[in-house]
């Protein structure tokens, strides 16, 4: 490779911890080496953005738990 390649790794839904992308990086490097490519030319950057949504997720989680408890309470009387 003439120029370095950048790989940005974004996590999906849910709580993630730092270095969540290590297995992905290792897999990409392994595949590049199988192909005879210089994996040192690939630069990885992990993005961890869960902290932005932590407060909102806690509020949503509390709401779901509370509404679920109410639902279970009322369904006892309907049955």
Q: pLDDT of 22-55, one tens digit each?
A: 999 999 999 999 999 888 889 999 998 876 666 6
DSSP letter for each residue of 33-50: HHTT--GGGEEEEEE--H
Domain borders along the chain are: 1-48, 52-79
Residue 79 has pLDDT above 60, yes or no: no
* Rounded-to-integer distance, Cα 27 and Cα 46, Å: 15
Q: pLDDT of 5-26, one tens digit each?
A: 899 998 877 667 888 899 999 9
Residue 75 has pLDDT above 90, yes or no: no
Question: In the numeric block, which tokens belong to residue 5?
Answer: 């390649």
């Amino acid at each position: 490779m003439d120029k370095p390649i950048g790989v940005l790794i974004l996590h999906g839904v849910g709580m993630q911890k730092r270095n969540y992308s290590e297995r992905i990086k290792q897999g990409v490097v392994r595949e590049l080496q199988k192909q005879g490519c210089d994996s040192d030319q690939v630069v990885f950057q992990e993005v961890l953005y869960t902290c932005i949504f932590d407060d909102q997720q806690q509020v949503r989680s509390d709401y779901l738990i509370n509404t679920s408890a109410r639902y279970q309470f009322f369904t006892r009387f309907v049955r």
